[in-house]
Amino acid sequence: MDKKSSIVFTPDNEPYLGRETVLAFDNAIIACLKANVHIASHTHKIEKSDLQWTACQIIPQGISIALSIRELVRQGYLFGAFVLMRSLIERATIILYLHHYPEKVEIWKRGWKYDERPKLAEMLSSIGKDKFPDIGRTITPVFNSRTHGDHESAI
């Protein structure tokens, strides 16, 4: 069976195989998996700070989401992969935000409640404030649209 007639794609016949961006994503996932194996074994042996505990919760979620996105791309389900990008971006942003603002880990420990936690756009803008002012309001509408299924997501 060729690429056009396959029902399920494998790593050797997937429709986006060979794309530079897909290869870059594959390499990033592999690097994250390798780093996670190394770091996870270390974190099991140490007394962890609140930020380290938070990272132990968030980072594996992000890796799992990245692997899910990659499988969706492999099968040609690009819309579903795009929807999950919002979740991946949020995990990466949360851990980076908490790294920059460790006093905010208390919000995470209290459950990261919707009415208490910063919004994704706020976190992105506060992290990138010097080089990318207001980046949060530039990036998040596109991802929010895909996630919430408004008219923009149909385009």
Task: Report how far apart, in Å, the C-alpha atoms of 135 and of each of 53, 62, 143, 145 are.
Answer: 28, 21, 13, 16
Average pLDDT over all residues of the chain: 91
pTM summary value: 0.88
106 belongs to a structural domain: yes
Confidence of residue 104 (pLDDT cuts 50, 70, 90): very high
Domain of residue 82, residue span: 20-147
127 belongs to a structural domain: yes
139 belongs to a structural domain: yes
Total tally of structural domains belonging to the chain? 1
97 belongs to a structural domain: yes
25 belongs to a structural domain: yes
Indicate whether 85 pLDDT > 80. yes
Long-range contacts, stretch 139-148, CB < 8 angstroms, 24+ apart: 139/89, 143/85, 143/86, 143/89, 144/86, 146/79, 146/82, 146/83, 146/85, 146/86, 147/83, 147/86
Q: What digits encode the pLDDT tens for the residues 22-40?
A: 999 999 999 999 999 999 9
Q: What digits encode the pLDDT tens for the residues 38-66?
A: 999 899 899 999 999 999 999 999 999 99
Indicate whether 7 pLDDT > 90. no
